[in-house]
Amino acid sequence: MSHFYYTVDGMGTDIWNELEGASKRLIRTQENVRLGRTGIRNPADALLELEVVLVGCSKVFDKWQSSQHANTVSGNQALLLLRFNITVARGCSQFLEYAKEFPQLPDPHLEDIASLERSAQIRLGFLRVIENIDTFLRTQLVKNPIIEPFYLELETLKLKAEHAINAQKPNGNSSIITKPIISRAKNLFQRAINSIASGAIDPEEIFQWCAAGAVSILLEIDPQRGIDLLEEHDLSTLDDSVSWELSMMRAQALVNSPSRNNEIQKFVATLKESRLCDEKERLGRAAMATRPVHQIASQLVENSDIGLAVSVLEAYAVLNGNKSTDENLLRTFVANDKLYGILSTRDREIALKADLTTDDILPLLEASVSGSPEGAFGARKLLGQRLRPLVGHADIAAAEPLTIDAHGFTGWFPWHAISTGSGQNLGTKTDLRWRHPLGGSRNSQPLELSNAVLVVDEALRESTQLIQAWQKMRNGLGKVVTYSSDAEGISEDTFRGEFESSSMFIYFGHGVSDPEDSDNRGLYLGPDRIITSSRLRTLSGSGVSAALIVACESGRQSPFVGGSSPAQAIANSGVPVVISSLWTIWARDGAKYATDFINAISVLETPDATLTWLELAKNTTAISTPFYCMQ
């Protein structure tokens, strides 16, 4: 919905300006939180920011009530007061909606995560604010057709808030709790539709939003009724962000219905169209779509609609910045305690499955997050036993070359090091790589070593070994750029300049890989200096024939949003071959790998990064060697 404000010049005091300023701050925060989903931003930080701004609004309102204006509201002042309260109610409802997935909430008073009991109190507190706003406006403002839509919106916000709170209860979907909400949602929807049909004054199309809010609740707890209402009434003129979320919910609700083909194709089109949004909106939508996409794709596979499942996964890949490819592609994802793998070749598509629970994945995830190479290696062995039915399948063995498109947490799996059950690992295949975001449009080019650039963090003592190896190369490699992340570091501009002027780029330093927060995912250039994945995507890499990024987790994407690792970002900048570390590695192992890579390339008559990497990849299964992935 659009928002507009009336100027308050000449109204007598600054309190009205404070109300207007607080409203505008809250609207900006709401937009940040809407797009700041897990994978883009730490959810606790997002919730806390919204909570703090809402508390600030409450203080401004208390100040207004204690002022001489509390009983003298008219004209533009009444409109401003209405806007302020509606904005606060929207913020409270948004907070509760976002918080559905988190049993424990941040507490701004404690500056910590609240207990379950305290979290329940916080939720109820926000619900009470919406209720109080409704009562206040009805008693404070003169009845007027212009403000009638806002009263219906308040009912919608209250209903959505109650539904969000119920979702946190142990019996959140029991008929005792949901029946009143279902009947109220149906009633609310009908009133909104009747208001639209009657031509009631509604310059901001709030009635449309109310109808969509009611349907979104029904799609969750009474899907068929929600679908029926959408079939009966056209909500196509909805605000784009609202229609986007409805599209996802509708596709999930209809995935098992006879009409699923049409509905899924609409959802696929919606995903692809979202690729054209601005970067912030695109990333936010990608994070919101991750779980629904995997749920929809898993149901389609179970229904033997493999082609439809592929179209959904491919549309999601496009949303994440990938271009199409005609390579043999193995798409992997996890849903409902199963690992799904869909192998697409030139002539057919094959769906494979293996049982895989959270308990099977958790040791690997914990070891990866904690930064323990040995722990990750041990967890890989246990995980490999579960993955063997998939990676050992005859069709996987026969696919040559094979490209892996790993979605969600499967992007953390060391696919090269998983045993096929025949005494070999998948990484021994002649040509195994991870999906490159530019697909078939990238242009491989011979390496020109004389213009190669090695950027080294001298804070790592193993850097000396790497620099010495570089200087001994008989072909005369390019220059070495050194910096210390313990001191001043290297500026982003300098990094960018060295990268874009190189024919081959090697980086040896620290990586940062926060799965939840995109601002803390990239390469560490020094104190308070991170070149994030979003910034790495803006590099001009078309003249760089290959990049080797030796940095912890530089190849590990966020499980909540695809295409988000530093390596994928560099590949997206135009580099045809990018080699990176999937997990945390010891600096000595990274230096050895980079040295081996340099030695191997330097003796070739025609240096080829792809062939060199594929040969070295066969040796990445030893405990002391990191697991690498290549786009």
SS3 track for 341-408:
EEEECCCCEEEEEEECCHHHHHHHHHHHHHCCHHHHHHHHHHHHHHHHHHHCCHHHHHCCCEEEEECH
Predicted confidence at residue 365, as pLDDT, reads 78
Q: What is the pLDDT of residue 441?
A: 59
Asked if the structure places residue 536 within a domain, the reply is yes
Q: What is the pLDDT of residue 540?
A: 94
pLDDT recorded at residue 38: 82
For residues 58 and 78, what is the distance between their CA atoms, to the nearest angstrom? 18
pLDDT at 335: 93
Domain boundary among 435, 469, 499: 435
**Residue 609 has what pLDDT?**
64
Amino acid at the residue 547: A
Residue 218 lies in a domain: no
Sign (positive/negative) of CA torsion 131, 133, 136, 139?
Answer: negative
Residue 190 CB-half CA count within 13 A: 8
Check whether residue 118 and residue 264 sit in a common domain: no
Helices 609-617 + 587-602 axis angle, to 10: 130
Distances (CA, A) of 544 to 442, 443, 523, 572, 611: 11, 10, 18, 12, 17
Contacts of 200 (CB under 8 A, 6+ apart): 145, 148, 149, 207
3-state secondary structure of 534: helix
Tokens 């979202």 — which residue? 274
Whole-number pLDDT of residue 148: 86
Of 94, 235, 226, 106, nearest to 161 (Cα)? 94
Domain count, the chain: 4
Looking at the structure, do residues 394 and 455 belong to the same domain, yes or no?
A: no
Predicted confidence at residue 494, as pLDDT, reads: 96
| 7 in a structural domain | no
Any idea what the Cα angle at residue 462 is, between residues 457 and 463, rounded to 5°? 40
415 and 297 share a domain? no
Return averaged pLDDT per consecutive 10 residues of the chain, 631 residues in all. Answer: 34 76 93 83 87 92 77 74 92 91 79 84 92 88 79 93 80 53 92 89 86 89 86 72 82 85 90 87 89 95 95 93 85 94 91 89 78 72 82 86 90 82 73 82 67 92 88 72 93 96 93 85 93 93 89 89 90 89 83 82 67 59 52 59
DSSP alpha helix (H) spans, 141-278: 148-166, 175-197, 206-221, 223-232, 240-254, 260-273
Is the omega angle on the peptide bond into residue 401 within 30 degrees of 0, that is, cis?
Answer: yes
| Domain identity same for 479 and 353 | no
| 120 domain residue, yes or no | yes
Q: Which of 56, 57, 67, 87 is nearest to 12 (CA)?
A: 67
* Calpha distance 612→618 (Å, rounded): 11
DSSP state of 144: -
- pLDDT at residue number 400: 81
Other beta carbons within 10 Å of 200 = 15
What CATH number does the domain containing 568 carry? 3.40.50.1460
Looking at the structure, tell me whether residues 88 and 20 fall in a common domain: yes
**455 and 544 share one domain:** yes
Single pTM value for the model: 0.86
Full residue range of the structural domain in which residue 584 is found: 445-630
Token pair recorded at residue 63 = 């100040």
Q: Are 600 and 452 in the same domain?
A: yes
Tokens at residue 114, please? 């609240």
Which residue type sits at 16? W
d(CA 89, CA 60): 15
Among residues 260, 290, 319, the one where a domain terminates is 319
Under 8 Å between Cβ of 114 and 107: yes
Q: Are residues 458 and 402 in the same domain?
A: no
Residues 34 and 122 in one domain: yes
Give domain status of residue 224, yes or no. Answer: no
Domain endpoint, select from 319, 342, 377: 319
22 & 164 share domain: yes
pLDDT reported for residue 368: 74
30 lies in the same domain as 62: yes
On whether residue 173 sits in a domain, the answer given is no
Cα 549 to Cα 158, 436, 544: the distances in Å are 50, 15, 13
Closest-CA residue to 241 (of 212, 200, 199): 212
Provide the 3-class DSSP secondary structure of residue 562.
coil
Same domain, 72 and 25: yes
Question: Alpha-carbon distance 110 to 430, whole Å?
Answer: 56
**Residue 304, both tokens:** 């033997």
| Domain assignment of residue 470, yes or no | yes
The DSSP code for 412 is G
CATH number, domain of 385, equals 3.30.420
Task: Give the three-state DSSP class for 289.
Answer: helix
Region of 624 on the Ramachandran plot (φ > 0 left; ψ -120 to 50 alpha; else beta): alpha
Asked, for residue 547, whether it belongs to a domain, the answer is: yes
Question: Could you give the CA distance from residue 382 to residue 481 in angstroms, rounded to a whole number?
Answer: 41
